[in-house]
Chain A
Amino acid sequence: DGGITQSPKYLFRKEGQNVTLSCEQNLNHDAMYWYRQDPGQGLRLIYYSQIVNDFQKGDIAEGYSVSREKKESFPLTVTSAQKNPTAFYLCASSIRDRNSPLHFGNGTRLTVT
């Protein structure tokens, strides 16, 4: 189903704890992305990676970290430095070509209390 798996669907954490969101794809896409979705603000880019072992900050990278050790995987860590971590997180992938559409996962809803 879609080739991009995000887990878990719901995640609850206490304030001050780091948490890692999983994203795996079997579409053989080179590029992967993490977006954050908040009501009324659309999707905002956190980090993206165009190739293994390389990634770039997006528009709201502060308080987040990523790794890209394998083509299929692009985990996102929400650190305790992220001031408003409660949100819906979407992972996406695309072929590494100009103007290629994004394929999204089903998302992870993170709640930090």
Chain B
Amino acid sequence: GENVEQHPSTLSVQEGDSAVIKCTYSDSASNYFPWYKQELGKRPQLIIDIRSNVGEKKDQRIAVTLNKTAKHFSLHITETQPEDSAVYFCAASKGGGTSYGKLTFGQGTILTVHP
């Protein structure tokens, strides 16, 4: 089955700096790569996603890049703010047949943004 590795496990940055979180996946058939943010004590929420026919996607201060050949994708947060502090999860799925919505998650990255 699919295996998703996420690095780093913890990341500490100063407010205004950029943060980058990287994930690799094992199944070349995976074609959907969402990122979730989970604040302390709250539910994970989708912040951005990318499909395998796209190499990069941006939404204000957040961007995701995908390298299908190398089977890795990354989350980039620019101009970080204290409210960006949370646990971030990457995930991958094949998105078809019996795999509908069957996401495999990375281990998570605890991001801390210091004022």
At the interface, yes or no: A82 with Cβ under 8 Å from chain B?
no
A-B contacts at CB below 8 angstroms, number? 69
Chain A residue at minimal CB-CB distance from B33 = A99
Cα A25 to Cα B103 in complex, Å, equals: 19
Chain A residue at minimal CB-CB distance from B43 = A104
Cα A85 to Cα B97 in complex, Å, equals: 30
Contact of B49 among A94, A98, A101 (CB under 8 A): A101
* Neighbouring A residues of B102 by C-beta, 8 Å: 33, 45, 48, 58
Chain A contact residues, CB within 8 Å of chain B: 2, 31, 33, 35, 40-45, 48, 50, 56, 58-59, 90, 94, 96-102, 104-107
A-B contact pairs, 25 of them (CB 8 A): A33-B101, A33-B102, A35-B105, A40-B9, A40-B107, A42-B6, A42-B105, A42-B106, A43-B91, A43-B105, A45-B103, A48-B102, A50-B100, A94-B101, A96-B101, A99-B93, A100-B101, A101-B34, A101-B46, A101-B49, A102-B46, A102-B101, A104-B44, A105-B43, A106-B42
Chain B contact residues, CB within 8 Å of chain A: 1, 4, 6, 9, 31-32, 34, 42-46, 49, 51, 89, 91, 93, 95-96, 98, 100-108
